[in-house]
Amino acid sequence: MGGATESELTDIEKKNSFLILTNNPLVAETLGERFLIEFLDQKSDIEVLTLARNRVHLGHRILTAPLSGSVKPGETPYRSLMMTAEADDSLDFFSLGNMERALSVLRHQKVSTRAGSSAADLDYQLVDLSLIESALPSLEAAGLA
Amino acid sequence: MSWVTTCSVPAKEVTVSQYKVVHYINQFFGQIGGEEMADYPAEKRPGPIGPGLAFTQALGEDAAITATIVCGDSWFNENLELARQTVLDMVREEAPDLFIAGPAFNAGRYGVACGSIADAVQSELGIPAVTGMYVENPGADMFREKVYTIATGDNAAGMRRVVPAMASLGLKLVRGEDIGASVEEGYLPNGIRKNFFDQKRGSLRAIEMLLNKLKDKPFVTEYPMPVYDRVEAGPAIKDLSRATIAIVTSGGIVPKGNPDRIESSSATRYGSYHIAGVDDLTSDKYETAHGGYDPVYANQDADRVVPVDVLRQYEKEGKIGKLHDWFYSTVGNGTSVANSKRFAVEIAEKLLAQGVDAVIMTST
Amino acid sequence: MKLELGYIDIRGIRFDDYMAIEDGILVVNPKELAEAVLADPLIKSARLEIANPGESIRITPVKDVIEPRVKVEGPGGIFPGMISKVDTVGSGKTHVLRGMAVVTVGRIVGFQEGIIDMTGPGAAYTPFSKLHNLVLVMEPVEGIAPHDYEKAARMAGLQLAVTIGELARNLEPDETEVFKTPRISESFDAILRGLPRVGYVMMLQSQGLLHDTYVYGVDAKRTLSTLIRPTELMDGAIVSGNCVSACDKNTTYHHLNNPVVRDLLKEHGKTLNFVGMIITNETVYLSDKVRSSDWTAEMAEYLPFDGAIISQEGFGNPDTDLIMNCTKLEKKGIKTVVITDEYAGQDGKSQSLADADELVDAVVSTGNANMPILLPPMERVIGMLDYIDKIAGGHDGSLRPDGSIEAELQVITGATNELGYNLLSAR
């Protein structure tokens, strides 16, 4: 699916609530006090994105890129995504297209069964936190946070 | 030496270290005749014939054509099963190391025959195969992802250039050597991305491509974008309670016994099934014909794929106006784009004629 | 703007107790250089090593590759806003130590990117195997935040390159090359009128830790798309803070030697009219993508461009920015060619990009980053191997007992660079 209209996005700026969907305990811990977090403990990256995609079908919109960062799926198990907390009464095709494309990439990239040392694991959490944090200034500017 | 006028010659003596090749050509290149002889049944002859002589040269010391199979294009295409079996048996007898078909240039039925038989030889006999044809030959789209297909021009004048490319690629396949990228080896892109080192760096290639594009000159993109067939969504139904809803499925639900013999994959037909008075699809009357998913749950209860029970409920409750008396079904497993489009056009016309307002499409 | 680059060809590197460039040989004092790096309290250890083309050496994990340069004439200094003061660069004279690079190596995080093999099959895939490399291997002090260490390592590399570059200030270049970037008004000169107006849109990775780029010291994350004169890049106006992925992130060396810039400048006045260059970012927040691409398209139409080359950086998410930039320009009637790498899976059968649009009909591919590759063991490793199993493109058991590495092409620094620096392609 190619890009549908992006004009739907401007409507979000007027909404005043969003949440962070994440399987990253560091995100839950660090941002949990300031923002609404839905923490999917122990869930995989595909499960996080699948849940986000399902929410889109229910009228929610995504605010950040589902495949942010260049650390590959299969390396980092962590995904964090910002979504509107309230549903609209219409389906946002831009969000849907992005989610389905992201899921398609995740399914095709080599998924390793690496256990990873705990040091690497913390670092993946850190990079993922940094990626989602990079969106905060824009959210604040839009009056959403 | 013109390949057209020379006759067949006995196979040169095959030495122990040489690879054995079987060559497949049609009635024209086999010097049987033109279109009027297109129903010539497959026949195996020893040694190379016609273009086979050019191949003999190109293959050099490393390989030799031990047999040529000459087959009429009509005979092949109109007797697919028989033709496949016959030719496969002939190839099996020869036990070659390599199978070469064509080149077919822009001859459509020839191209389809070449691709089809080369694919069969590969998959059923495990023998590497090479063919060649023009990019617009229908056989190209059908088989380029299954069989290495050297790109040719649209007429046989290109034979001299094409034969060495086919021979070279064929020898690489036999030897198990690494096959390079499509531009390097000369085959039609086959959906497998291969790396190679180009002559110029990417930035230069980009500038050259842009200059061509700006001058409306032809250019070839290095990565063709997957093209999605985008359909505008129709306007929403304002009042569902007065709408007639039909179900169309590619999930393969059919009456038990599959009376219309819808194929479990690569379906060439669809069926329409009467459900007036039917409240629920049950396992004694309905099943799935689809070969691409585990059929257990669909066979237990076909409503899982074609939700007659729920829609009938809605109809009774007044949520929808009416559940249409017919549902349309095919199997969406490897269905060709062409067939899918054909089914859709026909079904849409019928639904419109029958006064249906909206369709629920289900798949698996 | 006119910039003259004076190339001093470096044929080798030698350690001694003084520092100079003698007849093409760079002589450095490793102790003095290491001490300078250790002046930063965040860095626990630092040492210098030399790697020459053809030697059986593996350098890993590579953080950045930087070409030493020095501003000899004209305003500003190299890496303005980072090492030198903020001042507009890109004019005057700059000396370049050609044929060598500073390579920074060290763990920023527990997984790390980047292998450079100086010989063997891997060497063919990285341009840095052909350079004489002065490698700076660093270790952070325990317990500091990765952000702080990343910055410290980044600055250490840039500073080292500037220090080395300084040695070339008073030398006579072996070769010079002059680049002129005309004003927009000059792009309408009669002499250029028959030529197509071509622009360059350069996308910069800007998503967060290990994913950042700096323009005159400004983090590209919250920048608006803007214009930059191509010669500013040659003085280090754009610097890499980017470690992932090794194969397609732009090292500072790539920024300094941007091939699209060089090739466009070369063709300017001959086959095309190189009107201008736009830089734009690749963000995480979706609305920012819309804004950045809208802005880029508006500017391209404003200048105007007849056609544009668009290059991107990174994997996945940036494909969306790429498609947005491309389609918006195309819809304004500006013809585009896009340069990108592919992630088509190890078998080459997966869809190469994370996004697609039929308007993107002219693509230059810089290769499939998922291609499996076997890197034989090297006699010497500069850096460390203990993280190899976790490197992007690696897997458990990637590092075999004999020291060879079974991984994907994406582990090699610069292998599928999306500025079109290399000859590698895919079809």
Residue B4 has pLDDT above 70, yes or no: no
Q: pLDDT tens across C363-421, in order?
A: 999 999 999 999 999 999 998 776 666 555 566 667 777 888 888 899 899 999 999 99
Residue C37 has a pLDDT of: 96
Query: Contact A132/C284, CB-based, under 8 Å?
Result: yes
Q: What does pLDDT average to over chain B?
A: 91
- State whether residue C249 sits within 8 Å of chain A by CB: yes
pLDDT of residue C394: 60
Q: Which of C130, C364, C412 to mutate to test the interface with B (most CBs of B within 10 A)?
A: C364
Sign of the CA dihedral running C379, C385, C391, C393: positive
- In a mutagenesis test of the A interface, which of C139, C206, C286, C324 is the best target, namely the one with the most A β-carbons within 10 Å? C286
Q: Sort C41 into a burial class: Cβ within 10 Å, 0-12 / 13-18 / 19+.
A: exposed
B10 pLDDT higher than 80:
no
**Does B7 have pLDDT greater than 50?**
no
Tens digit of pLDDT for each residue in C163-205? Answer: 999 999 999 999 999 999 888 999 999 999 999 999 999 999 8
Q: Is the per-residue pLDDT at A5 higher than 60?
A: no
Mean predicted confidence (pLDDT) in C29-51: 96
Tens of pLDDT along B121-148? Answer: 999 999 999 999 999 888 998 899 999 9
Higher pLDDT, residue C238 or B234: C238
| Residue A137 pLDDT | 85
Of B54, B46, B47, B110, which Cα lies nearest the Cα of B83?
A: B110
Could you tell me the two tokens for A6? 């992006």
CB of B281 closer than 8 Å to CB of B253: yes
Confidence of residue C244 (pLDDT cuts 50, 70, 90): confident
Q: For B202-213, give one letter per residue: b (16+ CB within 10 A) or e.
A: bbbbbbbbbbbb
Question: How many domains does the structure of chain A reveal?
Answer: 1
pLDDT at B6 over 50: no
Contact (CB, 8 A) for C1 and C90? yes
- In this structure, the strands spanning C20-22 and C25-28 are antiparallel
Q: Over the stretch C105-136, which tens digit does the pLDDT of each residue have?
A: 987 765 666 899 999 999 999 999 999 999 99
At residue B84, the pLDDT reads: 94
How far A3 CA sits from the closest chain B CA (Å)?
11
Residue with tokens 């003061």: C85
Give the mean model confidence (pLDDT) for residues C240-253. 89
pLDDT digits (tens, 9 = 90+) for B258-294: 999 998 877 889 999 999 999 999 999 999 999 888 8
Please report which confidence band the pLDDT of residue A17 belongs to, taking 50, 70 and 90 as the band edges. Answer: confident
Question: Which amino acid makes up residue B75?
Answer: W
- Strand pairing category for B148-152 and B286-288: unpaired
Q: In 10 A of CB A34, how many CB atoms?
A: 9
Residues of chain B with C-beta less than 8 angstroms from the C-beta of A104: none
Least confident among B58-67, B209-218, C397-406: C397-406
Interface test with C, best of A14, A31, A70 (most C CBs within 10 A): A70
Its domain, for residue A47, covers 3-141
The tokens for B297 are: 């749950």
- Region C347-367 average pLDDT: 89
Longest dimension (CA), chain C: 66
Residue C288, pLDDT > 50, answer yes
d(CA B27, CA C373): 46
Q: What pLDDT is attached to residue C211?
A: 83
Fill in the amino acid letter for B55.
Answer: F
Q: What's the mean per-residue pLDDT of chain C?
A: 92
Mean pLDDT of B34-62: 93
**In the prediction, which pLDDT does A6 show?**
52
C326 is catalytic: no
Say if residues C361 and B221 touch (Cβ distance below 8 Å). Answer: yes
Are B360 and B320 in contact by the 8 Å Cβ rule? The answer is no
Do the chains contact at C426 and B225, CB–CB below 8 Å? no
Q: What is the pLDDT of residues B292-306, one digit of tens each?
A: 888 999 999 999 999
What residues in B contact C336, CB-CB < 8 Å? 210
Residue B130: per-residue pLDDT:
97
Nearest to B193 among C267, C348, C356 (CB): C348
Confidence label for B2 from pLDDT (cuts 50, 70 and 90)? very low
Residues in chain A: 145
* Percent of chain C residues past pLDDT 90, beyond the cut: 74
As a 3-state breakdown, chain C gives helix, strand, coil percent values, each rounded to 5, of: 25, 35, 40
- Residue B15 pLDDT level (bands cut at 50, 70, 90): low
Q: Which residue of C has its CA nearest to A70?
A: C315
Neighbours of chain C (3+ CB pairs under 8 A): A, B
Looking at per-residue confidence, does C95 or B334 come out higher? C95
What's residue C393's pLDDT?
57
Whether omega for the bond prior to residue C372 falls within 30 degrees of 0, making it cis, is no
Average pLDDT over residues A90-103: 90
Question: Of C245, C323, C396, which is closest to A70 when you measure between CB atoms?
Answer: C245
φ and ψ at residue C38, rounded to 5 degrees: -70, -5
The mean pLDDT value of chain A amounts to: 80
* Catalytic residue (choose from C243, C261, C360, C371): C243
Chain B neighbours, 3+ Cβ pairs < 8 A: A, C
Local confidence band at B326 (pLDDT 50, 70, 90 cut-offs): very high
Q: Which two tokens stand for residue C255?
A: 């920024």
Answer yes or no: is the ipTM higher than 0.90.
yes
pLDDT at C93 over 90: yes
pLDDT at residue number B5 = 38
| Closest Cα in chain C, distance from residue B253 (Å) | 31
Residue A118 has pLDDT above 60, yes or no: no
* Whether residue B248 has pLDDT greater than 90: yes
Residue A122: per-residue pLDDT:
82
Closest-CA residue of A relative to B232 is A4
Closest C-alpha to C333, from C358, C304, C296: C304
Domain boundaries, chain B: 19-185, 240-362
Q: Is B265 left (phi over 0), alpha (psi -120 to 50) or beta?
A: beta
Domain B19-185, CATH 3.40.50.300 — does that match? no
Residue C244 at interface with chain A, using a CB cutoff of 8 Å: yes
- Which of B192, B203, B211 comes nearest C259 by C-beta? B203
